[in-house]
């Protein structure tokens, strides 16, 4: 059984994700094999909020070159979590 801290890898803080916080949408990098139900339960357990909907997308890693050698960054999964209207804000993002 996975703990909620294993499912949520890290928050994603960009200009677009900061604009989405006005609509109570928060963006996280999550474990590749996690599904929407597991992500919703993990966010509710870690931050103590109520989740309305979860949007997920698989992000492909970029190809990177180092001279004549070509490598690839690893693929990862991004989740955008929308909170209910009566839910409180996530404390982690308030100071940003």
Q: What tokens does 71 get?
A: 């490598």
Q: Is 91 a member of any domain?
A: no
How much is the pTM?
Answer: 0.89
Can you tell me the distance from the alpha carbon of 19 to that of 89, in angstroms, rounded to the nearest whole number?
14
pLDDT per residue as tens digits for the range 61-73: 999 999 999 999 9
Q: Is 93 a member of any domain?
A: no
**pLDDT for residue 74:** 96
**pLDDT for residue 95:** 67
Can you tell me the distance from the alpha carbon of 65 to that of 36, in angstroms, rounded to the nearest whole number?
34
Q: Is 96 a member of any domain?
A: no
Report how many domains make up the chain: 1
What range defines the domain where residue 30 resides? 4-85
Query: By the 8 A CB rule, do 54 and 42 touch?
Result: no
Report how far apart, in Å, the C-alpha atoms of 6 and of each of 15, 22, 36, 57, 80 are: 26, 27, 14, 18, 17
- Longest Cα–Cα distance of the chain, Å, equals 54
Q: What is the CATH number of the domain that holds 80?
A: 3.30.70.330
Query: By the 8 A CB rule, do 4 and 49 touch?
Result: no
């Amino acid at each position: 059984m996975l703990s909620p801290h294993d499912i949520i890898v890290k928050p994603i803080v960009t200009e677009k994700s900061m604009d989405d916080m006005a609509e109570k949408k928060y963006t996280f990098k999550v474990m590749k094999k996690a599904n929407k139900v597991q992500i919703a339960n993990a966010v509710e357990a870690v931050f103590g909020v109520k989740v309305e909907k979860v949007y997920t997308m698989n992000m492909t890693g970029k190809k990177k070159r180092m001279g004549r050698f070509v490598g690839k960054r690893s693929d990862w999964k991004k989740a955008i979590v929308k909170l209910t209207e009566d839910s409180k804000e996530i404390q982690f993002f308030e100071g940003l």
